[in-house]
Amino acid sequence: MPRMLTSLLIFLAAGTVLFAGLGWWSAQARPAAPGLVNGRLAACDPAPHCVCSDGGDSSDTVHWVEPISLPGVDDATRWRVIREMLAASGGRVVREEQQYLHATYTSRLFRFVDDLELRMDGAQLQVRSSSRVGYSDLGANAARVADLRARLMVAFAGIKP
């Protein structure tokens, strides 16, 4: 067998094993989002795969994000629009309480799950988005929060109190 064909077969076999292994790993049970801790969203762990606005330090440029300001509408309207925005962006609500919402996002290729948690704090929406596995998310959670912020700003600009 020519050397090139042998190399190609080895590469394909290794890729198949790697892909199958990551698929198995991503399907394993993972810890769910921590939920509220003393009435607030949990702090991020040290890994750069999480962003949070609730109780963090604004000098932490890796993890901290601004809360989302949603003044001028009632809570029922806020939560309805938020649920619509989450569904439109691929999120699935898995838990909802009076002032708290937990949604998950699953990546297409490897089926990795990220958790998005929201807590209404007056007219401020506190947000936490974190990957369940891995060290880095390559900015995916920060981008998700920025996308949600932009979608909500557009949606609430058209709603009159």
Contact 103, 86 (CB under 8 A): yes
> Residue 22 domain-assigned?
no
3-class secondary structure per residue, 95-117: EECCCEEEEEEECCCCCCEEEEE
For the full predicted model, state whether its pTM sits above 0.85: no
Of the two residues 27 and 143, the one the predictor is more confident about is: 143
pLDDT digit string, tens, across residues 72-128 = 888 889 999 999 999 999 999 999 998 999 999 998 888 899 999 999 999 999 999
- Average pLDDT estimate for 34-41: 92
Does residue 62 form part of some domain? yes
Residue numbers of the domain that contains 42? 31-157
Q: For the chain, what is the domain count?
A: 1
Q: How many CB atoms lie within 10 A of CB 151?
A: 17
Bridge partners (DSSP) of residue 51 are: 129
The answer as to whether 14 is a domain residue is: no
Banded pLDDT at 26 (limits 50, 70, 90): very low
